[in-house]
């Protein structure tokens, strides 16, 4: 049933993620059996408790027909027990779980008829009546039962009411009755915000998807916000500023449309830009988003530019360079406008944090690497730490090799700078530049092992296997280095030495034994030594029957039309 949500909200990727995350929670709530309340348990005498515990033990074993007899015996012997409503509910559950759903409905109705005020059991009975109807294919009757449950002030406190609300929302979603679905999703998000936060987060996403995307309705959204205490993961006191920020963020989040949905896209942003038009004029981020939404409606780039210019001029104060940088970012690859705002910067009055922020923006938003490199020169190196440089290096390594080299050279700790650059070239698989650095750093105790490993990998990449062997032997990183040594021996045609190395791993590294054994088998396969290959595969199944490699060996033997020859997998 829940699969239809993914179809209905295919354009809302975030909701699809929530669906997958919450399904287990639903099933747990439905399958977690209602227990006897502590208050009712306290009222049982010794013999009542013993007989009821016996019935429960049979129920837990899933021997439902025998459990029915035990619960019946309890009710016959103790007809006025405080646990009678519980026993009746369990009798209904036995029938339900034994797929006798029509009889189960009669048993559940007995709980409602005779014990309507035993809230824990009566509310569960009403939920399970709805579930029986649903499982019988009668959605109308299911909706009736679940609606009755969630509308009762006492019954809807049961955790199963969260599931009932989710299922009601789902049923109406499937019928494209989005307003009804939104009502039940919103109620679940409000009622179970604290007691069942996983379901509440899911239903909040569903409700937002309806009120924002499927049936845009700002008044309903505002009402939902007031009741749900913001749209964030944890409760908070609502305030107007936070509400409109949430609107802005969620409108953008749900506003992804396909190329063939241009009309829907324009209608969507027309509605939301309309309701946002006179809100938060002093808030830059809100106004930038509003300009973006208007652009999605009319595509008028000139109007968008005027909006941004007007907003900047209305609030700009001398020396607020962070705001100027934000406008450089806002105009992005609109070269003339981003350059116009860039020219407003006075680097002599800016701090390093602002310059670093600008460098990042010039790379990612403005797409001007040359300007970013020139801006790097504006940093006050004397007021910058190697930690600051390393942070920017993490960013630059994916974007610009020239500036990466410069920032590593500027490190105060020159050895650290060379190590940082060595790691970068290793990551880029640039052996020509990595090897000279590794050769220098291998002499320094702080970097020797790492440099030796990088040296070995780069030599192996260059197919200098004999030199790589020596470096791996010095790297002291077993068993990884031993595997690499075996690979180098094989590349040199020294298969016996490779096999000996792999056998060493199998003998001395227990956690890698099965993997090493499988690699040995593959060596024989490459050597066309079918006899040893088959023997090795069978050996893996015998020595490591529970391993993943045993499964691989089984499939390989099966593919060759051979019997496994023993081991758990052979059975």
209-267: pLDDT as tens digits: 999 999 999 999 999 999 988 887 666 677 767 899 999 999 999 999 999 999 999 99
CB 75 within 8 Å of CB 56 = no
Q: Determine the distance from the C-alpha atom of residue 229 to the mean position of all C-alpha atoms in its chain, rounded to a whole number.
A: 24
CB 109 within 8 Å of CB 70 = no
pLDDT, residue 25, reads: 53
In angstroms, the CA 319 to CA 477 distance is 54
User: Tens digit of pLDDT for each residue in 193-218?
Assistant: 888 888 888 899 999 999 999 999 99
Structure-token pair, residue 569: 């997998």
CA angle 118–183–131, rounded 5-degree value: 45
What is the rounded average pLDDT for all residues in the chain?
A: 91
Q: Is the pLDDT of residue 300 over 90?
A: yes
Structure-token pair, residue 509: 């590294």
pLDDT, residue 194, reads: 83
**Which residue is listed with tokens 């494209």?**
176
- Which DSSP category does 213 fall into? I
- Helix 369-376, helix 352-364: angle, nearest 10: 170
Q: Which of 234, 219, 156, 166 is nearest to 191 (CA)?
A: 156
Structure-token pair, residue 155: 């019954």
Structure-token pair, residue 339: 């350059």
Stated pTM of the model: 0.76
In angstroms, the CA 532 to CA 520 distance is 9
- Which DSSP category does 381 fall into? G
Structure-token pair, residue 558: 């099966």
Contacts of 157 (CB under 8 A, 6+ apart): 119, 123
- Which DSSP category does 212 fall into? I
What is the average pLDDT across 147-171?
Answer: 93
- 463, HSE (Cβ side, Cα atoms, 13 Å): 3
**Which residue is listed with tokens 């955790």?**
159
- Which DSSP category does 205 fall into? H
In angstroms, the CA 442 to CA 286 distance is 53
Q: Is the pLDDT of residue 32 over 90?
A: no
pLDDT, residue 326, reads: 98
């Amino acid at each position: 049933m829940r699969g239809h949500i993914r179809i209905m909200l295919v354009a809302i990727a975030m909701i699809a993620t929530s669906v997958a995350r919450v399904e287990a929670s639903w099933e747990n709530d439905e399958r977690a059996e209602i227990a006897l309340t502590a208050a009712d348990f306290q009222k049982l005498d010794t013999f009542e408790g013993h007989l009821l515990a016996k019935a429960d033990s049979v129920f837990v074993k899933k021997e439902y027909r025998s459990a029915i007899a035990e619960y019946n015996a309890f009710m016959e012997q103790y007809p006025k027990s405080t646990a009678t409503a519980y026993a009746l509910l369990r009798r209904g559950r036995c029938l339900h779980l034994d797929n006798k759903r029509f009889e189960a409905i009669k048993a559940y109705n007995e709980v409602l008829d005779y014990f309507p005020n035993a809230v824990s059991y009566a509310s569960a009975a009403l939920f399970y009546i709805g579930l029986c109807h649903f499982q019988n294919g009668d959605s109308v009757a299911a909706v009736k039962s679940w609606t009755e449950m969630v509308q009762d002030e006492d019954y809807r406190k049961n955790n199963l009411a969260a599931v009932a609300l989710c299922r009601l929302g789902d049923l109406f979603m499937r019928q494209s009755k989005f307003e009804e679905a939104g009502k039940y999703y919103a109620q679940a998000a409000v009622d179970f915000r604290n007691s069942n936060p996983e379901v509440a987060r899911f239903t909040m996403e569903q409700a937002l998807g309806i009120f924002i995307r499927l049936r845009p309705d700002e008044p309903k959204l505002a009402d939902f916000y007031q009741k749900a205490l913001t749209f964030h993961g944890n409760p908070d006191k609502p305030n107007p500023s936070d509400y409109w920020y949430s609107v802005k963020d969620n409108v953008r989040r749900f506003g992804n449309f396909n190329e063939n949905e241009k009309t829907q896209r324009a209608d969507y942003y027309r509605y939301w830009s309309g309701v946002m038009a006179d809100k938060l004029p002093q808030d830059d981020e809100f106004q930038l988003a509003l300009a973006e939404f208007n652009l999605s409606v009319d595509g008028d780039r000139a109007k968008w530019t005027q909006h941004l210019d007007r907003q900047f001029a209305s609030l700009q104060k001398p020396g607020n360079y962070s705001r100027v940088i934000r406008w450089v970012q806002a105009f992005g690859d609109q070269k003339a406008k981003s350059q116009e705002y860039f020219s407003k910067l006075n680097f002599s009055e800016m701090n390093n944090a602002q310059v670093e922020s600008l460098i990042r923006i010039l790379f990612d938003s403005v797409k001007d690497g040359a300007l970013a490199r020139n801006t790097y020169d504006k940093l006050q190196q004397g007021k910058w730490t190697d930690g600051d440089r390393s942070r920017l290096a993490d960013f630059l390594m994916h974007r610009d090799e020239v500036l990466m080299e410069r920032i590593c050279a500027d490190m105060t700790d020159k050895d650290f700078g060379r190590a940082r650059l060595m790691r970068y070239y290793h990551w880029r698989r640039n052996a020509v530049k990595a090897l000279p650095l590794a050769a220098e750093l291998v002499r320094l105790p702080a970097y020797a092992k790492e440099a030796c490993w990088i040296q070995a990998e780069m030599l192996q990449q260059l197919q200098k296997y004999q030199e790589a062997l020596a470096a791996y032997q010095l790297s002291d990183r077993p068993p990884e280095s031993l595997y690499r040594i075996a690979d180098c021996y094989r590349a040199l045609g020294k298969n016996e030495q490779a096999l000996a190395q792999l056998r060493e791993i199998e003998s001395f590294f227990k956690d890698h034994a099965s993997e090493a054994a499988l690699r040995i088998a593959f060596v024989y396969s490459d050597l066309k030594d079918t006899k040893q290959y088959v023997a090795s595969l069978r050996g893996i199944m015998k020595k490591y029957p529970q391993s993943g490699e045993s499964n691989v060996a089984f499939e390989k033997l099966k593919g060759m039309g051979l019997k496994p020859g023993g081991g758990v997998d052979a059975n």
